[in-house]
Amino acid sequence: MENYIIYTFIFLLGLAIGSFLNVVIYRLPKGEEIVIKPSHCMKCGERIKPYDLLPVISYIILRGKCRYCGEKFSIQYLLVELLTAISLVGIYFAFGWTSPADTIAMMVLVSMFIAIFVIDVYHYIIPNEIIVFGLVSGVIFSILKGVNFNNLSLFNWDVLKDSGLGLVVGISVFFLIVILGEWFMKAEAMGMGDVKLMGVVGLFLGFKLTVLSMFLAFIIGSIISIFLLVTKIKGRRDQIPFGPFIVLGSMVAAIWGTQILSWYFSLGRI
């Protein structure tokens, strides 16, 4: 019974965070205020009342339309809320509450990933505001993971070093790719937003999982890009954002990375 209460709480929390992420996704690319400016209809400008801001429920009751002018809202709002809620429940299921800092860190990382994924797909940018938040929170969680709350003098510096190494490697490798792309291909292989995003990933996941994240991002990116080109959804000269591939690769590494690496290194002993 206690587990059901916890899962329900996390699901509802995820819906609320997803609702906030929708605000971030819509306003950040436009340079609009996120916290102070009240929610409003994009067509008629009418302020949306609190009872119409209930995640999922309000969307269903209003049938995805503005109460005042009937303007249809994108289903993206509903999907982001549900995806965030399901993702947070999945993180709790995978990590439990043995190490609260690890679990909460993964929830924060996943929430950032969802916003970055949608923004990069639609606008081909990764906002600096999210990157700064990710870097600051990544440092904080790295410190918390190293703290021994039973004996504060026994700080685990290895955790902090691992996060720092992940940060340096993530940024360095992708920055090198950017430089080489400009020198040899005379084109932008990827943007600086991708470089900074890998720094955030490095802080949260550490060295080994960051390397795995990069490898998986390129594999996933290659497969999806080939599919988009073959199906003619994208042309050869069309831009394909790399941020979503980093997000997908890092998510796989965050959840199953330890098992993947154990399996890979075990192959050498066969």
Looking at residue 67, its pLDDT comes to 83
Among residues 63, 103, 57, 51, the alpha carbon closest in space to that of 81 is found at: 57
Predicted TM-score (pTM) of the model is 0.92
pLDDT band at 46 (very low <50, low <70, confident <90, very high): confident
User: What mean pLDDT value characterizes the chain?
Assistant: 90
DSSP string computed for 65-127:
B-TTT-PBPPTHHHHHHHHHHHHHHHHHHHHTTSSHHHHHHHHHHHHHHHHHHHHHHHHS---
Helix (H, G, I), strand (E, B) or coil at 11: helix
Structure tokens at 166: 């992940």
| Three state DSSP letters for 151-166 | CCCCCCHHHHHHHHHH
pLDDT digit string, tens, across residues 169-188: 999 999 999 888 777 665 66
pLDDT of residue 270: 47
- How far apart (Å, rounded) are the C-alpha atoms in residues 83 and 172? 32
